[in-house]
Structures are given as C-alpha cells and as structure tokens.
Homo-oligomer: A and B are copies of this chain.
Amino acid sequence: MHRFRQAVSNVMANVATIQHSGINREKTTEGDPEKEEKYEYSRAEFLQLSSEEVAIATDIIIRPIMVPRDLSKLPWYSGYAEVVNAGKSKLNEDQAAARHMFINNKHSLEKTLDTSPGNGLLIKDSDQIPLTYFAIFDGHAGSGVSVMASRVLHTRILAKLESVYDLLANSSIEQRQFTRSGDQRPNKWPFTEKEMSVESLVVGALESAFVEMDEQVRKEKLDYHIPGGCTVLVAIFLLGKLYVANAGDSRAIICRENEVLPMSTDFTPLSERQRLQMVASTNPQLLGSEFCCLEFQKRVQRKDLGKKLMYRDQNMTGWAYKEVTEEDIKFPLIYGEGKKARVLATIGVTRGFGDHELKVHGTDVYIKPFLSPVPEVKVYNLFDRDNSEDDVLIMASDGLWDVLSNDRVAEVVSEVLKSFPPNDYKKYASAAQELIMAARGVLRLNGWRTLKENKSGSGDDITVFVIPLNKHTSMDRQSSMTESHDASPMSS
C-alpha cells in the first residue's frame, strides 16, 4: 500500500510537467524491447519521406510543419499537415493514413451478375464499389500501436465490407436512404439481411472492424515489440455518405458555409465517467484494493470520515450527499481536472487500441478493462445538398483542439480557402498547414506561442486533414452508379 501511494504521488508529480501527455508512466514499462519489432517506425506513406527526412520531421526543437511533397498522393488533393511535439516523446506518436480503395466482389470469378432490367442491380460496369478512407491515430506510451493501426486497420474495414459486398452492391435506393436514427433495426423482426439498410451494414462493419483490430493488437503484442496504445479517428466516403468513426479524443467537424457540424464526440475520462464507473461497479475487483469507484466533490481525506460530501455514482448525473466511509478514502477511479484527468491515476484516454499490458504503476491493477475500442459512428449524407468546393471535413488529433475552438478552426480554414482562386487544388494543403501554424505557433523566449493571441501554443503532436466534401459525389457521378443517384437523390 505504501509503495502504491508513492507511485501515485510520482504519477501526480508528472501530471504537472507533462501537460499534454495522454499517459503517465515510466519509459521502462513500454513493452519488452527484447521482442522483435514488426512495424518499423515511419511517417505516413503519402508523405514519401526518406529516413533522413523522418529524422527532420521528428525534430522536437525545430518542429517543422510537414506537408506531402506531391499533393496528388492524397485522395482528392486533400490537405494534410503534421508537426511533432515539443519534447514530451522522442518521436511523433501521431500516425495517419489516406487512400482510395475498392470493395471487391470476392465471388466475381465464380458468379455471373444478373444484369437483367429491373432487378435493382446498381453495379453494372464494374464489380468494385469505390471507398475513400482517411484515418488519424494518436499514439501514447510509444508509437508501436499507432504505426500498426495505420498500416492494418483499413484492410480490416475493407474485409468487413467485402463480407457484405452482395448486400451493398444490390441495395435498393430505399436501403441507401439516410436515416439519422441511432439504432437501426428494420421495423419488423425477424428479417432477412436483404432488408437491412446500407447504413446499418457500414456502421456494423466499422464497429466490428475496430473491435477485431484491437484483438489483433493484443495477439501481436504477445510475440512482437508493439508498445503503447492509440486513439482512432476514421472517415470513409462510401455510396454517397460520409461515415466518421471515433474512438478517442481526436475530433472531426464539417465546416460548410457559416456552419460547423460536429462529426464526433471527444471520449475522455470526464466525458466517459458513467461508463467507467459502470465497469468498476460491475466488477469491483478490477479496482484492486487501491481505488474507489465514486466521484466526490473533492479528494476524500481520512479527516472526512463520517462527514457528508457530495458524490455521484454510475447511475447519477446530478449530485447528492453521502456520509463518507472507510471505502471512500481510497484513490478515486477518475482524478484530475480537464486535460489532466486520469483513469486509475494512469491514462488520459479511454477509447482506442492497445494498452493491453498496461498496469497501474507498482500494482497488479490492469487499465485495459476500462478502455474501449468501440467507435461512435456518425453519418452525413453527401447528397443532402450541393456541397461547394469550400465545404470540408476537418479531422485532427487533440493537439489541435486543445488550443483552437471549433469556430476558430472553421475561421482559419475559411479564410485560407477563400484566398485561393476556384478549382485551385492546393487550397486544402494550405489550409491544413495554416491550422498547424495557428495551433503550434512560433518559438519565442517563453516557448511556443500562438501568433494571434500570444497564448501557449500546443506542445503536443498535431495531425490535420482538410478534406473536400464535393469530390466523392462528383467522382460517383462519373462512375457507373450515376443513373441511380441522379434519378433520386439520397436525402430522405
């Protein structure tokens, strides 16, 4: 117990210094370096960096803003920029991926598609359904898992979608409609898979791919050196809709004319309080003998025994009085304010991949049962209006949002995009670069300061995508699926 107290106070001391770190733990616990490395560290493929350039990109003194040298390597000339942190880790632990892909008909060789008139078949000239994929992985306690996820996750999502290829390819206009309902179940039950909406199938593919990806991380960690964990933010453009799947505290927003639409929820120890308390109250042994599940108005001390303090349990959103008992004097499950809040005094993120081996320092209390790989998926209908070329999806790791509000981000992007002539494909890259500049700021005697307000700039790794919303649908219009979309727009 004494040993544990010391560990916690060490951890608490770290909180003050490593403000932007997602995790509090000693470097020595980052997995077993004896094991072979399976996924070599690098930067995103589309950056096309040599190993010398990777070293420059991760220079924590200069902090250069990196953008792709060949903008055509990104789908639709989307904007991308990144910067390394100011010293909290040796490398940039953010990773990114972006690519056009195709959902293939696995049985296309064995099977002839029925293209007779009126059978509702929409794929005519090709067996392939186009899909465009973007992802940001924000690593912590090592870059192993973020690197692995950036190389593997899209293949798992694609495999899940290929398992429902027939249903997607043969879906009716009705099944492709936009529902905005959270829980998609056909009105009748039982039902056949052919009655299922496309949205249900894609959301289900993303949800199950995320969970299975995390299981793959667990397995590979047994044999290879894959330290740490990462948050996950994925956007896919598919069959006229944008799906944003988020597990962590990265964020996606849509900026369109004078409007900001949040496309994700930030999952943090504070926003996930009730879920975390639920896990702990259902299985109290997960807390060891060191932690207390309840939230109190303050850190409970021995001298509070028998007094009444305000508390909340997993069922409560409001507050009530509770008489403090011996049990309540333990260290709280969630401790700290704002960005410094930690689960089990250890970790500041609550969703994502990895961290399977992570324990509370000096104890046998595992963190993983409190973490979830499950994404929340939000859907946006790309056909519900004519998106202009300045309507964009912005995805970024928390390094950006710690310093800039949604509205400020929209403002920065809008200014850049407006300053370019129409159809200039470089505008998105420029906007992404400008966002990083606004969040990182410039190095002054008192550290990194933002240009506009001279506040503290972000010392975290920052990764940003700026993705035009009008390209997927115009691409589609040129494809074999033109007729159906033109005949009946998908807004319901």
Contact = CB atoms under 8 A, between A and B. Distances in A.
Interface of A: 160, 163-164, 182-185, 188-193, 196, 199-208, 211, 270-271, 273, 278-279, 282-283, 297-299, 309-310, 312, 315-321, 337, 372, 374, 377
Nearest to A335: B189
A297 B211 contact: no
B297 A193 contact: yes
Contacts of A374: 315
Q: Nearest 8 A-B pairs (CB), nearest first? A: A203-B318, A204-B318, A190-B298, A204-B320, A204-B319, A315-B374, A208-B320, A207-B316
Contacts of A283: 282
Contacts of A190: 297-299
8 contacts: A164-B321, A182-B317, A184-B317, A193-B309, A204-B310, A207-B318, A207-B320, A315-B372
Nearest to A196: B319
Contacts of A163: 320-321
B164 A317 contact: no
Given A184-B318, A317-B182, A204 B297 contact: no
Given A183-B273, A203-B317, A204-B312, 10 more contacts: A163-B320, A183-B271, A189-B298, A189-B337, A193-B297, A199-B318, A200-B318, A201-B320, A204-B319, A206-B318
B298 A191 contact: yes
A310 B283 CA distance: 30
As for how many copies of this chain the complex holds, the number is 2
A183 B337 contact: no
Contact of A191 (B208, B297, B315, B317): B297
A461 to B, nearest CB: 27
A201 B319 contact: yes
Interface centre among A192, A200, A202 (most CB of B within 10 A): A200
A329 to B, nearest CB: 15
A97 to B, nearest CB: 22
A61 B185 CA distance: 38
Nearest to A188: B337
A100 to B, nearest CB: 23
A315 B207 contact: yes
A161 to B, nearest CB: 10
Given A190-B298, A282-B282, A310 B184 contact: no
Nearest to A321: B163
Given A297-B190, A297-B192, A297-B193, A318 B202 contact: yes
A310 B200 CA distance: 11
A316 B206 CA distance: 9
Contact of A208 (B182, B298, B316, B377): B316
Nearest to A308: B163
Contacts of A192: 297
Contacts of A320: 160, 163-164, 201, 204-205, 207-208
